[in-house]
Amino acid sequence: PSMSSLTLDAASAGPHDLDQWQRGCEAACEEALTWPVWKTTASGARVSSGFISGTRIRSMFWVQELPAEKEARVKSLIFPLAEVGRNAPQWDATFQGADVVATDSPLPDGVELVKWRFKASPLSKRDLLYLLAWRPLTSGAAGGIALYPSVESYPDTSVRGETGKRVRAYNMYPSCDRITHLADGRIQICHLITSRLGGCVPDYVYNTAFAPSVRSNYAHEAEAFHTHVLR
């Protein structure tokens, strides 16, 4: 199938076509860049959170700049999953493991079906089932974007996200990592994630009571990611 033919189910509450999901995520990154900064980390990453227009779940966001010669390194930490999984423990303290799920029908180039496991202490551990897609920017400019739309299941597979006492969580719309080139020669990485924790945590509780601790986690992650890229 072509890249444009990939349709999405309703699990992520976003557009039902990956092309539209991408366009929306790129616009959402621009919107998130206008949010008030909650914290600036030691390396200069800015952390914030807010509601992207038309959404009802709080999105978490960090943005930082790195030398342009690190672009290939940064991309390898975003896609494909094999490299992401090897490196994620260096910046994501909640990470428990991830696998590419085989599908009976081939996915388009640059797309993987991923099962991601993470800790949500003191809650039950969580599972995500989502498509990981790496794509060029719609503008044709240098850089690229990784998209993370959750799917309830996937055609031709019997995979489900929840197993045993683990709870199904979701990457909601918009969720992405975007790399762009700045006029000063550096690259900018926008990390924008919208989460539904699922289980006993309704969205309004995540939006309010959980927001401070999640923002703190993002500040730690942004700083750790910066350190790991520069190693």
User: What pLDDT is recorded for position 7?
Assistant: 86
Cα distance between residue 193 and residue 211, in whole Å: 13
Cα distance between residue 188 and residue 182, in whole Å: 7
**Cβ distance 47 to 35 under 8 Å?**
no
Cα distance between residue 121 and residue 97, in whole Å: 16
User: What pLDDT is recorded for position 152?
Assistant: 85
CA-CA distances (angstroms) from residue 176 to 32, 106, 172?
12, 23, 10
Strands 167-168 and 95-100: unpaired
Question: What is the model's pTM?
Answer: 0.93
CA-CA distances (angstroms) from residue 44 to 74, 89, 118, 176, 213?
17, 22, 27, 20, 20
Q: What is the pLDDT along the chain (231 residues), one digit of tens a residue?
A: 344 458 888 899 999 999 999 999 999 999 999 999 999 999 999 999 999 999 999 999 999 999 999 999 999 999 999 999 999 999 988 999 999 988 878 888 899 999 999 988 777 888 999 999 999 999 999 999 999 999 987 554 444 444 457 888 999 999 999 999 999 999 999 999 999 998 889 999 999 999 999 999 999 999 999 999 998
Strands (E), the chain: 39-40, 46-50, 59-66, 95-100, 111-118, 126-135, 143-147, 167-168, 170-181, 187-196
